[in-house]
């Protein structure tokens, strides 16, 4: 093949890649990231780093094979990520299922807080020394990170001080804030797998996975609508004399609604949690038929001993208290915390199974279970 033919072949491949990427770059549910292009035609992804005030951080994605374009992009833009990336550091367990689903777990070089990981495949990689400890609680050990030299870091709530960011920038290690946890629509959190797909060269796989979860979720939602009743639900638990319940516009409240139940605090506009007195919750939710997600409690007896006021809740007296905290990985990590963001269809199916007995008689719950006696 002559040099001219090779040039034409490469240009054709690049054009096809750009055109294909354009067909995939829309998102349906997620509000925290947006696809775009620079004036030069480079693909971009903007990530919302703050809601109030609203702030965004933009990253430029350029194919590694396009050496001239990559050099040019780096000369005019600060945050350029050569793709596909082949080494990454993760900072949240919710990111683990995504890289596994895309078949890219072998690209993970480090993680903050290894004991929290429950995935069997990831634990095997940890035991073999292929995934290193790089910090804890969102704080990265800069020396370890530099030694691993990842091509990108998917941040969660990590250190963003100017000095820390400057060191990473000088080492040519971009940090993309992975803000899936800020999405209030359950499917919006799942949709962040498209960001992983774009970074790792697995966009078709990411699209296919997301579409499957959406179809499953919507099917289960329709099954729930066929139930004759809408049972009432209370959630959360008391901590230091304050009862924290999910806000009416929160991720969990949306799941309660899609499970065809009446969440008793659905009428407020909060997307986070509400801080209420014990008396306020009992007055409004004392007659609740189900108590779902009582924080990380797993024992009904321990709950009663810890907070006698729980006995004023009908669901508690009838032992219809359903927890996500009983199922854990080999090192104590709660499976729900790791997997639920990517699999809201499983969460919804669990809720429907308990809220509407008989609708899904052969289903085996993934996360939820009744509290221990």
Residues 236, 244: contact at Cβ < 8 Å?
Answer: yes
CB contact burial 136-158 (16+ within 10 A = b; e otherwise): eeeebebeebeebebbbbbbbeb
> What's the CATH number of domain 227-370, 3.40.50.1980, 3.40.190.170, 3.40.50.720, 3.40.50.300?
3.40.50.1980
Cβ count near 232 (within 10 Å): 18
Residue range(s) occupied by CATH 3.40.50.1980 in the chain: 26-213, 227-370
Nearest Cα residue to 357 out of 242, 234, 229: 229
Nearest Cα residue to 30 out of 139, 172, 182, 150: 182
Q: For residue 122, which phi and psi values (nearest 5 degrees)?
A: -70, -40
Nearest Cα residue to 360 out of 345, 349, 344: 349
Torsion from C-alpha of 339, 340, 341, 344, nearest 10 degrees: 130
Q: Return per-residue pLDDT of the chain as tens, 373 residues.
A: 555 554 444 444 444 444 444 444 566 899 999 999 999 999 999 999 887 788 899 999 999 999 999 999 999 998 999 999 999 999 999 999 999 999 999 999 999 999 999 999 999 999 999 999 998 766 789 999 999 999 999 988 655 555 677 788 889 999 998 999 989 999 999 999 999 999 999 999 999 999 999 999 999 999 999 999 999 999 999 999 999 999 999 999 999 999 999 999 999 989 999 999 999 999 999 999 999 999 999 999 999 999 999 999 999 999 999 999 999 999 999 999 999 999 999 999 999 999 999 999 999 999 999 998 8
Largest CA distance in the chain: 82
Per-residue HEC secondary structure of 269-321 comes to CCCCEEEECHHHHHHHHCCCCEEECCCCCCEHHHHHHHCHHHHHCHHHHCCCE
Nearest Cα residue to 197 out of 99, 54, 304: 99
Task: List beta partners, residue 58.
Answer: 46
User: CATH fold of 26-213, please?
Assistant: Rossmann fold (3.40.50)
Task: List beta partners, residue 133.
Answer: 111
Q: Which two tokens stand for residue 72?
A: 């040019």
Q: Where are the alpha helices (DSSP H) in 312-373?
A: 314-317, 335-339, 344-355
What pTM does this model have?
Answer: 0.90
| End-to-end CA separation in angstroms for the chain | 74
């Amino acid at each position: 093949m002559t040099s001219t033919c090779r040039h034409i072949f490469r240009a054709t491949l690049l054009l096809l890649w750009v055109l294909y990427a354009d067909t995939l770059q829309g998102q349906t549910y997620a509000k925290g990231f947006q696809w775009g292009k620079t004036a030069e035609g480079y693909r971009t992804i903007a990530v919302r780093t703050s809601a109030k005030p609203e702030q965004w951080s933009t990253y430029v994605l350029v194919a590694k094979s396009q050496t001239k374009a990559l050099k040019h992009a780096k000369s005019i833009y600060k945050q350029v990520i050569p793709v596909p990336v082949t080494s990454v550091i993760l900072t949240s367990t919710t990111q683990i299922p995504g890289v596994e689903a895309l078949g890219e777990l072998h690209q993970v070089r480090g993680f903050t807080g290894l004991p929290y990981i429950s995935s069997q495949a990831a634990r095997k990689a940890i035991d073999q020394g292929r995934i290193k400890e790089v910090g804890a609680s969102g704080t990265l050990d800069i020396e370890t990170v530099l030694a691993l030299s990842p091509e990108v870091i998917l941040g969660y709530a990590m250190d963003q001080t100017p000095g820390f960011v400057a060191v990473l920038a000088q080492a040519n290690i971009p940090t993309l804030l992975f803000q899936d946890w800020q999405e209030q629509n359950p499917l919006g959190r799942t949709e962040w797998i498209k960001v992983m797909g774009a970074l790792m060269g697995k966009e078709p796989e990411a699209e296919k996975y997301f579409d499957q979860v959406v179809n499953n979720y919507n099917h289960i939602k329709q099954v729930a609508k066929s139930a004759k009743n809408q049972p009432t639900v209370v959630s959360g638990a008391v901590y230091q004399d304050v009862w924290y319940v999910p806000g009416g516009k929160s991720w969990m409240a949306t799941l309660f609604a899609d499970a065809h139940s009446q969440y008793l605090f659905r009428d407020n506009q909060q997307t986070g949690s509400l801080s209420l007195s014990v008396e306020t919750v009992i007055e409004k939710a004392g007659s609740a038929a189900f108590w779902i997600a009582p924080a990380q409690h797993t024992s009904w007896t321990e709950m009663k001993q810890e907070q006698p006021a729980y006995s004023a809740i009908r669901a508690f007296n009838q032992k219809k208290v359903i927890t996500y905290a009983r199922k854990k990985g080999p090192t104590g990590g709660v499976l729900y915390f790791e997997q639920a963001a990517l699999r809201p269809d499983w969460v919804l199916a669990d809720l429907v199974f308990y809220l509407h007995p008989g609708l899904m008689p052969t289903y085996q719950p993934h996360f939820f279970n009744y509290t221990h006696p």
